[in-house]
Amino acid sequence: MPDEPLCPDKDYLLNVLKDLIAFKTVAPPGSHYNEIIDYLISVFKSMGFRTEKIVMPQEIFEAKCQDSRLTGDRVNLRASLDSGAKETLVIYTHVDVVPAGDDWSTDPFRMVLKDGRAYGRGTSDSKGAVAGLIAALRALLKDSKSKYNLSILLTTDEEVGGYSGLCFFADQGLIKGDYMLCMDGFCDDLVIGSNGIVTWEVTVHGKSAHSGSSFLGINALEKSLPVMEALMTLKKAIQSRRSTLRASSALEAIGIENLMPILNITMINAGIKENIVPDRCVLRGDRRVIPEETMDAAMAEIEKALGPLDVDMDLKFFPGYPPMRMNPDHHWIGEVQRAIEQITGSAPKLSGAQGSLDQAYATDKTGIPTCVYGVGRQMESNIHAGDENVRIDDLVNFAKFLLALMGS
């Protein structure tokens, strides 16, 4: 008789998820990190993992994070299991969540099951994946073992958008393996790339004066108009480009077939009173960089567009996560695709994320082949919104997919 396929325990999975949701690991400020990591340490220890609680040292936090909204320790977990295999699989996601907001029908930190879905902050982004992973490991390790050595990275501060726990791990050489699965994604597609992000800031300088004799001053706000016009001209050129990487199924449904680069002006600050000529105008925005572009080229392009203007200004860039792109023919992508197909019955579409991922920072730093697959659905999980939810079937299927991937 053939062996029964291993099956995750759905009730156990949902119980773990309920526990995880109850930790208010809201970032910023980044609360209850210690508590959730201690909980996870006991779970992974009980399955035979070696666990390391890794706190970002204060001097690194001060040098890299510079975000006054963050308080307390930046606590992260690495859990390792030697299966005696030749190759090591690194599995990552984050355990912090965005603040709940007011727009909820139920308590966001008490998981509620309703109409085939689990509701709660983090059900989809990304604690559901953690619960799926734990349920899969528990089923797998009961009587058999993983075909890879495992390195599980459960980190924090991803939702802050800057120097996350994963970036810290990457810089400290704590990410070691042959393949990497990032669970911080959707189950709509298999993501093999993402856009990079650069934030920019232009400060236009002028000279203040009484507005009744404004000809005696230099109006920094009015002087910023040609800067904005030059950026809008550049925006048109940039946004007519397309990556060869396909956009997500959700974006494809609204007519965006491939990843596209973006230039935005999103903030303007100038002036203190109607009758004072402003001496300073600060414009801010961001540039989304497709995998075919480089961060440096994207910055140089903005510099070049503003260079010829007769405006007294300073231009600053704050590079964030780089773009990411995997070779779709890499055998690791094929492995993951096959495991998904085994469970869902169809091979997932390979696509890219318009947003930027801290995973891309880690992939760039380590060179480990990576793909991104998670539990939520882009158009229905209400990620970062009220009533965040995940389909219970998707949670169970995710655990089954992991079993197909890790089992021999």
Q: Which stretch binds Zn ion (CB under 5 A): 79-87, 117-125, 247-255, 289-297?
A: 117-125
CB of 159 to Zn ion, least distance (A): 7
219, 207 Cβ separation under 8 angstroms: no
Applying the rule CB under 5 A, the residues between 18 and 57 that interact with Zn ion are: none
Stretch of 63-71, 79-87, 119-127, 208-216 lying at the interface with Zn ion (CB under 5 A): 119-127
Which residue's CB is nearer to Zn ion, number 206 or number 352?
352
**Phi (first) and psi of residue 222, to 5 degrees:** -65, -35
Question: Minimal distance in Å, beta carbon 276 to Zn ion?
Answer: 44
Least spacing, CB of residue 393 vs Zn ion, in Å:
21
Query: Least distance to Zn ion from the beta carbon of 184, Å?
Result: 4
* Region binding Zn ion by CB under 5 A among candidate stretches 63-71, 120-128, 143-151, 385-393: 120-128
- H/E stretch holding 22: helix 10-22
Give, to the nearest 10 degrees, the angle between helix 127-143 and helix 10-22.
Answer: 140
**Could you tell me whether strands 350-353 and 117-119 are parallel, antiparallel, or unpaired per DSSP bridges?**
unpaired
Angle subtended at Cα 162 by Cα 160 and Cα 167, rounded to the nearest 5 degrees: 115
Structure tokens at 37: 């990591």
Q: Which stretch binds Zn ion (CB under 5 A): 43-51, 125-133, 296-304, 334-342?
A: 125-133
Dihedral of the alpha carbons of 358, 362, 364, 368, in degrees to the nearest 10: -130
In the complex, the smallest distance separating the C-beta of residue 158 from Zn ion, rounded to whole angstroms, is 6
Provide the minimum distance between the beta carbon of 372 and Zn ion in the complex, in angstroms, as a whole number: 10
Instruction: Give the nearer residue to Zn ion in terms of CB position, either 184 or 286.
Output: 184
Q: Which is nearer to Zn ion, 184 or 189 (CB)?
A: 184
Cβ distance to Zn ion smaller for residue 151 or 155: 155
Binding of residue 157 to Zn ion (CB under 5 A): no
- Given the DSSP bridges, would you call strands 149-155 and 196-205 parallel, antiparallel or unpaired? unpaired
Residue 159-198 contact track with Zn ion, rule CB under 5 A, x = bound:
-------------------------x--------------
Between 154 and 302, name the residue whose CB sits nearer to Zn ion: 154
Residue 177 CA neighbour count, 13 Å, CB half: 29
Task: Tell me the CA end-to-end span of the chain in Å, nearest whole number.
Answer: 18
**Residue 176 CB, nearest approach to Zn ion (Å):** 23
Q: Is 388 in the site for Zn ion (CB under 5 A)?
A: no
Q: Taking the complex as a whole, how short is the minimal distance between the CB of residue 258 and Zn ion, in angstroms?
A: 23
Q: CB burial class (10 A; 0-12, 13-18, 19+) of residue 215? A: exposed
Q: Closest Cα partner for 204 from 182, 226, 186? A: 226
Question: Residue 184 or 388: which CB sits closer to Zn ion?
Answer: 184
- Binding of Zn ion by 126 (CB under 5 A): yes
Bridge partners of 404? none
Residue 301 or 380 with smaller CB distance to Zn ion? 380
Contact residue for Zn ion among 51, 88, 125, 183 (CB under 5 A): 125
CB 348 within 8 A of CB 190: yes
Closest contact distance (angstroms) between CB of 131 and Zn ion is 14
Distances (CA, A) of 400 to 179, 196, 253: 19, 31, 28
What are the CA-CA distances from residue 94 to residues 26, 36, 53, 129, 155 (Å)? 12, 11, 14, 9, 5
Q: Which is nearer to Zn ion, 126 or 149 (CB)?
A: 126
Asked if residue 94 lies in contact with residue 159, where contact means CB atoms within 8 angstroms, the answer is: yes
Q: Looking at 40-48, 126-134, 204-212, 242-250, which segment touches Zn ion (CB under 5 A)? A: 126-134
Least separation in angstroms between CB 134 and Zn ion: 17
Number of residues this chain uses to bind Zn ion (CB under 5 A): 3
Decide: 288 and 197 in contact? Cβ < 8 Å: yes
> Which residues form the interface with Zn ion (CB under 5 A)?
125-126, 184
